[in-house]
């Protein structure tokens, strides 16, 4: 359904993203995980064709969606795809909705625009979708304004807008970061059910390994603008091949074991202007050797995973 | 022990404000800023650079056209227009700058106190200050003229009061915004007294926009001073003032237009320069704030 | 074991005054909270946004004046202190704030920020100022070379370390940690938590740890207080104890574990935290609770010790 190959993005002279590849089929859930500044949101923006908004452009690689090359697609053609076949859920539900417009018309607009429905057909559809998102009394909600709703409810409305035109791919950029834990659990379960019911392909962008573990089928781990490990979720968590993936997993307390120790990852994520040479992770890596400072590691397939580490597969 | 506290205090001294330097960075800033620096120097060194005594009358040579030795001509009393324009810079700049300085000190004090303490005090201060804003500037000037007579003192106070509300409101808004910042709560939690909070955190962080607005207000002050001078409410003869010069020039508008044109041009250019430089300052500060906020 | 902090029936009611166009409204941000914090222990206060946990932190430090209740710090009645006595006492009870980005004055260098506590308290460090700055920065794992940096030149994690150094400058005995890692990346969060663990051992600190993250609280703390809408609904003296309050149970179930083999099919809690204004009578959780009966809607449950530990529920699990 969606295939990204060696994606490369530039903002003027700086290239914050390069060498990102993944593929996604219908009904699959892909997690893109990394710290802030790792390029995960840029990947989402590239797929959605929203890079020009912030002054970036794709300088290499390809994005193929349902047999169609997107990197060379004209903006007018992209506009027909975006919102129609590619749905986007943004991070902050508080600012994703127009505060001056009632909920109903905001969701209706998507179906009116993309499915050429008239106002009353669109409203019927809106009420139906709000219902499937387990929003109580959907018809009443349509007459409310965003400020009259809680954060979790607003995020459901944003999801409803992304679903309104019945997309094939749903890109969710940190959909639960701004929400409380119990609400996060609700939203994640909801996305899970939607993928099953509608046979969607979901790209879930998050910094939280536990969200990935609980939701996704496949994982792309990103660091300093590059994909550094890629594989099925069980393999990634069972036998992570890249030290960064291992370290990210270790950052999260697992729960009851009292002898557990959180160490964190020393140092900080490099900024675009000073990505280290060789393996970008080497200054923070405790397994780094000479080769890591000079040569960028290629992807090595090990078991079901592929990791960009010189020592992937060693001693494990 | 006390000397040690002194060392700590010295270690805490803030860093210099480089915004003005940054405003000089663009060519627009260089031209506008350069003109203003030149104007200030001219005003300061007026006695040494004026070719003639600004008050010396020479009725034999009245209304002389620009030429040699009177580069900008003479007025109806034969006084040298160039010398009077140069001395006029003194009057205009000093009156305007003094007035704005008074306005800023009173306004910042009132605004900071209102913003910090809030409650009834805040409402009382803001009501009184807003009241001064609702009077036209000329009316305020007339009140001073009526009580202490026309002259530069009245003009100074009139300008000071005219801009008081602006600085009070601006400072109050800054303080109210800053009060919500975590570092203020953190400093209170260290056991700091209100005075420390105001002196070392709130005011230093609030001062940048006040300086910019003050800069722009000096330009407006020059216009207001000229206006009052034009109506005969400001500088009294023989004190040279741009406004008064233009006023006296109206009588011979067609006979000797240079008497009114040159002070008018200087007022216009000065105000434009002040505004351009003020804009450059805002730009410089905005960039810095963005860097800081990131 | 001596108690560093004793909190009894602490309450805070915020009242928004009425006017010609609106009704006066009252909100119990913190309602009847009691607990003891023993020297050297770490108590975690956990709850969702709006549960009153941050208000509780500020009430304890008297950054917000309580409406009712008692506060004892090292045996002394805090609420009886005058504001100048309180200012002196603040040296012993410090706080680390949630947002490191705005917790340091943008005009202050790191050195000036960590020395400010001395200036405020009119004290001087034992050695020279430079030495003290260096030793404080080293203590929180920062390079002493950062002393002359401004906040905008350092990362979020480094800012939070500066915040910790500033709080520890006067060697307080109590440190209130208000979501110190909530606005940081996971890798940095783990660094900060491990730093806090180490400082606790080295300096014998006592922590009150406020967080929305139950798994983090269980990892980091000795005891847990679970708050819901201003009240403590469960007090777990040991982090491994099973939940007795249905809300705590839901919180535990909503916490994701980083293990794809332990995917939980949880029935997520429906609804959200109701508005703290105009709370219905009875148990605040009644509308979202699967075990609600008639009594839950009429009588507010009180925190009582049952078979194991205190819980405020008519039908504990």
State whether residue B17 sits within 8 Å of chain C by CB: no
How far apart CA B246 and CA B17 sit, in angstroms, is 38
How much is the pLDDT for B57?
82
Task: Name, in order, each residue with C-beta under 8 angstroms of A120's C-beta and a sequence gap of 6 or more.
Answer: none
Confidence (pLDDT) at A259: 65
Residue in C158, C185, C258 nearest the CB of A213: C258
The yes-or-no reply on C/B contact (3 CB pairs or more, < 8 Å) is: yes
- Predicted TM-score (pTM) of the model is 0.84
pLDDT at C265: 65
Mean predicted lDDT score pLDDT of chain C: 89
- Evaluate whether residue B38 is within a structural domain: yes
For residue B293, what pLDDT is reported?
Answer: 28
CA distance linking residue A192 with residue A182, whole number of Å: 16
pLDDT for position C196: 94
Strand order in the sheet with C3-16: C25-38, C3-16, C68-73, C76-77
pLDDT at position C111: 95
B72-88 average pLDDT score: 86
What is the pLDDT at residue A80?
A: 86
Among A152, A185, A208, select the one facing C186 at the smallest CB separation.
A208
| Yes or no, beta carbons of C186 and A36 under 8 Å apart | no
By CB atoms closer than 10 A (0-12, 13-18, 19+), residue A153 is: buried
Closest CA to A221 of A22, A50, A16: A22
User: Could you give the CA distance from residue C287 to residue A250 in angstroms, rounded to a whole number?
Assistant: 37
The secondary element (H helix, E strand) that includes residue B38 is helix B27-44
pLDDT given for residue B287 in this prediction: 38
Instruction: Answer whether B196 touches C (CB < 8 Å).
Output: yes
Q: Is residue B56 part of a domain?
A: no
Q: Would an 8 Å CB–CB cutoff place C194 in contact with chain A?
A: yes
pLDDT tens column, A262-302: 777 887 788 887 888 888 899 888 888 888 888 888 888 88
For residue C51, what is the domain's CATH number? 3.40.50.300
Distance in Å, alpha carbon of A201 to nearest chain C alpha carbon: 19
Does C183 contact chain B (CB < 8 Å)?
no
Interfacial C residues in 227-246 facing B (CB < 8 Å): none
Question: Which residues have C-beta within 8 Å of that of residue C107, sequence separation ≥ 6?
Answer: B14, B15, B204, B205, C150
Looking at the predicted structure, is the pLDDT value of residue B43 above 70? yes
Please state, in angstroms and as integers, the Cα–Cα distance from residue C47 to each residue in A182, A242, C300, following that order. Answer: 10, 35, 19
C317 located within any domain: no
What pLDDT does residue A264 have?
A: 77
Residue C266: the pLDDT is 63
Residue C150 lies in a domain: yes
Query: What CA–CA distances, in Å, run from C225 to C27, C188, C233, C245, C248?
Result: 21, 25, 8, 12, 10
Asked whether residue A176 carries a pLDDT value surpassing 60, the answer given is yes
Q: Is residue C188 part of a domain?
A: yes
Whole-number Cα distances in Å, C70 to C29, C40, C67: 16, 21, 10
Question: Which pLDDT belongs to residue B294?
Answer: 24
Q: Give the residue among A308, A172, A314, A176 at the shortest CA–CA distance from A245.
A: A308
Structural domains of chain C, count: 1
What confidence score (pLDDT) does residue C135 get?
94
CA–CA separation, B276 and C125 (whole Å)? 48
Mean pLDDT over all residues of chain A? 86
Token readout for B57 is: 């009358």
Q: Is the pLDDT of residue B6 over 60?
A: no
Q: pLDDT tens digits, residue range B99-137?
A: 999 999 999 999 999 999 988 999 999 999 989 888 888
- Separation of alpha carbons B278 and B33, rounded Å: 9
> pLDDT value at position A256?
58
Q: Are residues A152 and A187 in contact, defined by beta-carbon separation less than 8 angstroms? A: yes
Query: Residue range B271-292: average pLDDT?
Result: 70
- E strand or H helix at B22, and its extent? helix B19-23
Do the Cβ atoms of C87 and B183 come within 8 Å?
Answer: no
Confidence of residue B251 (pLDDT cuts 50, 70, 90): confident
Phi, psi of A18 (to 5 degrees): -160, 155
Q: Say whether residue C202 is in contact with chain A using an 8 A CB cutoff.
A: no
Q: What is the mean pLDDT of residues A73-91?
A: 87
Closest Cβ–Cβ partner in A180, A252, A268 for C186: A252
Q: Which of B4, B15, B191 is nearest residue C88 as measured by Cβ atoms?
A: B191
Taking chain C, what is the end-to-end CA distance rounded to the nearest angstrom?
Answer: 31
* A239-243, B11-15, B79-83, B256-260: least confident range: B11-15
Instruction: Examine residue B57 and state whether it is found in any structural domain, yes or no.
Output: no
Note whether C120 contacts B196, CB cutoff 8 Å. yes
Confidence at residue A258, expressed as pLDDT on a 0 to 100 scale:
58
Complex ipTM value: 0.89
C62 inside 8 A of chain B by CB? no
Residue B243 lies in a domain: yes
pLDDT top residue among A16 and B6: A16
User: How many pairs of residues across A and C have Cβ atoms under 8 Å apart?
Assistant: 133
Show Cβ contacts of residue B195 under 8 Å, excluding neighbours closer than 6 positions: none
Average pLDDT over residues A28-43: 90
**Interstrand relation of A226-232 and A218-223 (parallel, antiparallel or unpaired):** antiparallel
Q: Does B45 have pLDDT greater than 70?
A: yes
d(CA A70, CA A3): 10
- Least Cα distance to C180 among C65, C54, C60 occurs for C54
Please state the rounded mean pLDDT for residues B61-78. 81
| Interior angle at CA B163, CA B158 and CA B164, nearest 5 | 95
DSSP per residue over chain A, as a string?
-EEEEEEEEEETTEEEEEEEEEEE-TT-EEEEE--TTSSHHHHHHHHHT-GGGGT-EEEEEEEEETTEE-TT--HHHHHHHBTTTEEEE-S-HHHHS-TTS-HHHHHHHHHHHHS---HHHHHHHHHHHHHHTT-SSHHHHTTS-GGGS-HHHHHHHHHHHHHTT--SEEEEESTTTTS-HHHHHHHHHHHHHHHHHHT-EEEEEES-HHHHHHH-SEEEEEETTEEEEEEEHHHHHHS--SHHHHHHHHTS--SS-TT------SS-PPPGGGPPSSSTTGGG-TT--HHHHHSPPPPEEETTEEE--TTTTTT-
The parent domain of residue B33 ranges over 2-46+83-292
Residue in A214, A251, A253 nearest the CB of C187: A251
Number of domains chain B is built from? 1
Chains touching chain C through at least 3 C-beta pairs below 8 angstroms are: A, B
Interface probe, candidates C55, C116, C152, C155, chain B, greatest B C-beta count within 10 A? C116
Domain that holds residue C179: 3-17+24-311
Task: Please say if the pLDDT value at position B291 is more than 50.
Answer: no
Provide the pLDDT for residue B18.
Answer: 60
Residues of chain C with pLDDT under 50: none
* CA atoms of B125 and B118, how far apart (whole Å): 10
Q: Determine, for residues B15 and C163 on separate chains, whether the beta-carbon distance falls below 8 Å.
A: no
The residues facing A221 across adjacent strands are A33, A229
* pLDDT (tens digit per residue) in B178-215: 999 999 999 999 999 999 999 999 998 888 888 888 88
Per-residue model confidence (pLDDT) at position B13: 35
B254 in any annotated domain: yes
Domain annotation covers residue C316: no
Q: CB distance A208–C270 less than 8 Å?
A: no
Residue B244: CATH number of its domain:
1.10.3720.10
Residues of chain C neighbouring A222 (CB-CB closer than 8 A): none
Q: From CA A251, how far away is CA A263, in angstroms rounded?
A: 7
Task: Answer with the residue of higher pLDDT: B22 or C238.
Answer: C238
Q: Which chain B residue lies closest to C176 (C-alpha atoms)?
A: B189
Cβ-nearest to A181 among C254, C258, C260: C254
């Amino acid at each position: 359904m969606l295939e990204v190959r060696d994606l490369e993005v530039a903002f003027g002279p700086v290239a914050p993203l390069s060498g990102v590849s993944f593929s996604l089929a219908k009904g699959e859930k892909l997690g893109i995980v990394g710290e802030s500044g790792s390029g995960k949101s840029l990947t989402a923006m590239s797929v959605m064709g929203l890079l020009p908004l912030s002054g970036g452009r794709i300088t290499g690689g390809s994005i193929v969606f349902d047999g169609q090359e997107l990197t060379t697609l004209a903006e007018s053609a992209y506009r027909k795809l975006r919102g129609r076949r590619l749905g986007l859920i943004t991070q902050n539900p508080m600012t994703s909705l127009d505060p001056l417009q009632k909920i109903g018309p905001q969701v209706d607009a998507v179906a009116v625009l993309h499915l050429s429905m008239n106002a009353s057909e669109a409203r019927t559809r809106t009420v139906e979708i709000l219902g499937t998102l387990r929003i109580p009394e959907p018809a009443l909600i349509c007459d409310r304004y965003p400020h009259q709703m809680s954060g979790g409810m607003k995020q459901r409305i944003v999801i409803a807008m992304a679903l309104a035109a019945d997309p094939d791919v749903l890109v969710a950029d940190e959909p639960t970061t701004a929400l409380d834990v119990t609400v996060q659990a609700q939203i994640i379960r909801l996305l899970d059910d939607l993928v099953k019911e509608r046979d969607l392909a979901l790209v879930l962008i998050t910094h939280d390994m536990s969200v990935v573990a609980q939701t996704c089928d496949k994982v792309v781990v990103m660091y300093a603008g590059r994909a550094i490990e890629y594989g099925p979720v069980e393999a990634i968590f069972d036998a992570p091949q890249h030290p960064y993936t291992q370290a990210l997993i270790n950052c999260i307390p697992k729960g009851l074991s009292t002898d557990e120790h959180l160490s964190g990852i020393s140092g900080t994520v490099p900024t675009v202007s000073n990505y280290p040479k060789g393996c970008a992770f080497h200054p923070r890596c405790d397994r780094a050797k000479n080769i890591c400072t000079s040569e960028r590691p290629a992807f090595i397939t090990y078991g079901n995973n592929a990791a960009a580490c010189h020592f992937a597969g060693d001693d494990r | 022990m006390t000397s040690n506290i002194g060392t700590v205090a010295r270690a805490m001294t803030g860093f210099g404000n480089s915004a003005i330097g940054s405003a000089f960075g663009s060519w627009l800033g260089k031209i506008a800023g350069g003109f203003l620096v030149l104007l200030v120097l001219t005003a300061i060194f007026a006695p040494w650079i004026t070719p003639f005594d600004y008050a010396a009358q020479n009725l034999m040579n009245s209304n002389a056209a620009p030429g040699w030795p009177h580069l900008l001509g003479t007025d109806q009393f034969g006084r040298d227009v160039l010398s009077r324009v140069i001395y006029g810079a003194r009057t205009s700049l000093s009156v305007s700058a003094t007035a704005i300085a008074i306005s800023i000190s009173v306004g910042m004090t009132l605004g900071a106190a209102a913003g910090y303490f809030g409650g009834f005090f805040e409402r009382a201060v803001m009501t009184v200050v807003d009241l001064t804003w609702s009077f036209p500037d000329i009316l305020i000037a007339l009140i001073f003229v009526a009580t202490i007579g026309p002259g530069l003192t009245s003009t100074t106070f009139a300008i000071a009061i005219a801009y008081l509300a602006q600085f009070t409101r601006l400072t109050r808004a800054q303080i109210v915004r800053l009060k919500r910042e975590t570092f203020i709560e953190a400093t209170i939690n260290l056991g700091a007294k209100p005075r420390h909070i105001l002196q070392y955190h709130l005011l230093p962080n609030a001062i940048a926009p006040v300086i910019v607005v003050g800069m722009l207000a000096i330009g407006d002050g020059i216009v207001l001073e000229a206006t009052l001078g034009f109506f005969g409410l400001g500088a009294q003869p023989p004190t040279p003032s741009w406004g008064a010069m233009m006023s006296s020039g109206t009588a011979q508008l067609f006979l000797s237009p240079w008497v009114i044109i040159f002070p008018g041009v200087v007022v216009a250019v000065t105000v434009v320069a002040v505004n351009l430089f003020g804009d450059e300052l805002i730009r410089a500060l905005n960039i810095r704030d963005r860097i800081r906020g990131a | 074991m001596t108690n560093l902090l004793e909190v009894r029936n602490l309450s805070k009611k915020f009242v928004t005054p009425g006017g010609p166009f609106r009704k006066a409204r009252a909100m119990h941000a913190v309602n009847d909270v009691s607990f003891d914090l023993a020297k050297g222990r770490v108590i975690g206060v956990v709850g969702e946004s709006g549960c009153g946990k941050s208000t509780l932190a500020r009430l304890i430090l008297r950054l917000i004046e309580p409406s009712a209740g008692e506060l004892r710090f090292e045996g002394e009645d805090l609420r009886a202190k005058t504001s100048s006595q309180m200012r002196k006492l603040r040296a012993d009870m410090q706080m680390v704030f949630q947002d490191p980005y705005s917790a340091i004055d943008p005009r202050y260098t790191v050195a000036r920020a960590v020395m400010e506590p001395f200036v405020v308290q009119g004290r001087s460090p034992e050695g020279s100022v430079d030495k003290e700055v260096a030793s404080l920065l080293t203590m929180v794992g920062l390079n002493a070379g950062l002393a002359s940096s401004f906040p905008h030149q350092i990362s979020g994690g480094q800012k939070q370390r500066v915040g910790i150094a500033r709080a520890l400058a006067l060697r307080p005995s109590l440190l209130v940690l208000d979501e110190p890692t909530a606005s940081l990346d996971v890798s940095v969060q783990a660094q900060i938590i491990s730093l806090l663990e180490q400082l606790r051992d080295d300096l014998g600190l006592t922590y009150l740890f406020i967080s929305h993250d139950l798994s983090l609280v269980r990892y980091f703390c000795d005891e847990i207080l679970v708050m819901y809408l201003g009240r403590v609904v469960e007090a777990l003296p040991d982090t491994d104890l099973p939940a007795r309050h249905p809300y705590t149970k839901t919180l535990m179930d909503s916490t994701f574990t980083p293990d794809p083999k332990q995917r939980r099919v949880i029935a997520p809690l429906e609804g959200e935290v109701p508005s703290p204004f105009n709370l219905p009578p009875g148990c605040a959780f009644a509308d979202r609770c699967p075990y609600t009966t008639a009594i839950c809607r009429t009588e507010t449950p009180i925190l009582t010790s049952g078979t194991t530990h205190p819980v405020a529920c008519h039908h504990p699990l």
